[in-house]
Amino acid sequence: MGEHHAVKRVQHSASDMFDLVAHVEHYPRFVPLCEALKVKKREERDGKTVILADMTVAYSMFRDTFTSRVTLDPEALTIDVEYITGPFASLVNRWKFIPVDETSSDVDFFIAWQMKSRTLGLVVGTVFERAFLKFADAFEARADFVYKRRDLAESPATN
């Protein structure tokens, strides 16, 4: 079983980071190994949004799709991902966005996984581990791109 936990300070607000991670439809643009993502269902429950989504991951000759339930809690600034079906025996992913001030936050990222097949785990396990280690960095880089660009567009021109 692989596991990764990191807390990283970023120069973006907690609500901006929550919004960025909550937009799962954009993952194929920047998330390592994510080839496609399809939202199958989205519903509101008790102030939370629950998304059922299929994510296709690909690396070299390996390509597989897994289904997860993603629970977005904007009040608590948390995102929980529950694995439903696919090539894993288990997969748990949790995000927590902790405000530091108006323009920065701590992103608490946790992921744990285990492949169903020991052979598959040996073949692609190291690749998944390296990709999962890069997830938090990929989201921070995406936030830099999305929010800094917006900040520049909103600021008055100086000459």
* pLDDT level of residue 156 (50, 70, 90 thresholds): very low
Q: Which of 89, 22, 91, 27 is nearest to 56 (CA)?
A: 27
Domain assignment of residue 24, yes or no = yes
Bridging pattern class, strands 88-101 and 78-85: antiparallel
- Non-local CB neighbours of 136 within 8 Å, separated by 6+ positions: 6, 8, 107, 109
CB neighbours of residue 34 within 10 Å:
19
Give residue 39's pLDDT band: very low, low, confident or very high (50, 70, 90).
very high
Mean pLDDT of the chain: 86
> Would you say residue 159 lies in a domain?
no
Select the more confidently predicted residue: 116 or 47. Answer: 47
74 phi/psi in degrees, rounded to 5: -65, -30
pLDDT class of 155 with cuts at 50, 70, 90: very low
* 68 located within any domain: yes
In whole angstroms, give the CA distance from residue 62 to residue 120. 9
In a domain, 144, yes or no: yes
- Specify the CATH number for the domain of residue 119: 3.30.530.20
Count: domains in the chain: 1
> Does residue 65 belong to any structural domain of this protein?
yes
Host domain of residue 6: 2-154
Residue 122: per-residue pLDDT = 65
Three-state secondary-structure class, residue 66 = strand
Residue 145 covered by a domain: yes
CB-based contact 115:125 (threshold 8 Å): yes
Residue 43 within any structural domain of the chain: yes
Average confidence (pLDDT) over 133-147? 86
What number is the average pLDDT over the span 69-90?
A: 94
Show Cβ contacts of residue 152 under 8 Å, excluding neighbours closer than 6 positions: none
Q: Is the pLDDT of residue 123 over 70?
A: no
* CA-based torsion, 74, 9, 24, 68: positive or negative: negative
